[in-house]
Amino acid sequence: MSMGRPVLTTQYIQSHTVGVAGTQDVIWGPLYDSLAYPSAGQSQLSFFTQPQGQGTSSAPGAGAVVKTIFDTNMITNNQLSLGNEFYAIGSETLFFPGVNNSTNTTAAFALEPGSSVVIATGVGEFWNDVYNVGNGGIKVLTVGTDRKYIQDGPLNLFPPATRLAGIAALATGDTATSGAQIQYAVWSGEPYTLVPIYIQSTQQFTLQITFAALIPTPSGTIARMIERLRGYLIRQAT
């Protein structure tokens, strides 16, 4: 050890040589896919089914275009392309109220003094969107035809690995529009880990979120949901 860091041997360094024919390299490369969450709710959301060039983007401000790298890093549906494999170790769900492809800004966190019109209008509705949707849903990850590696819920069991951090202030007045409110909420807790799953090249997998009943967003706005399979991408070096 040197300054708290491991001493790297020549053999270890050479094992990470880039571009050696007939070898594989390994990178940290989570798989991700995003969908719009309708304001009226939806009974089932299917992720990783529409790769880049298909479906409709949910990226903020992107407009009604097909999915791009801003939506997903999948280039084939429900499988990794030839020569790529994936070692999955966790699952997370990111939920963003009031964010959709028709707006070029994120959801409003604040109700400004003297204003009664904001995205995700009303006191506490950002929290309500996050709370209500997070209290529902069952996530199912299937590899192959019938091997279920996740069958768990509700969605707030799958918190994001990162979140907005900071401090907010709240001032109240006599009317709903005389004060200023800042609000932000996110599912939090221990990251959802998996007993590692080694998904091989061209092996089919599906990830679906199913709700017992439609859960509308209390804000009445469209939201965005992103599914991330945390893990390592194994790929052919050449």
pLDDT tens for 140-184 read: 999 998 899 999 999 999 999 998 887 666 666 555 555 566 778
81/69 Cα distance (integer angstroms) = 16
pLDDT on residue 104: 59
Q: In this model, does residue 47 exceed pLDDT 90?
A: yes
The rounded percent of the chain whose pLDDT value lies above 70 is 83
98/146 Cα distance (integer angstroms) = 35
83/217 Cα distance (integer angstroms) = 41
Tokens coding 223: 């939201």
Strand partners, 151: 140
In 3-state terms, the chain is what percent helix, strand and coil (to 5)?
A: 10, 35, 60
Alpha-carbon dihedral sign for residues 38, 42, 48, 53: negative
The rounded percent of the chain whose pLDDT value lies above 90 is 59
- Predicted structure pTM score: 0.86
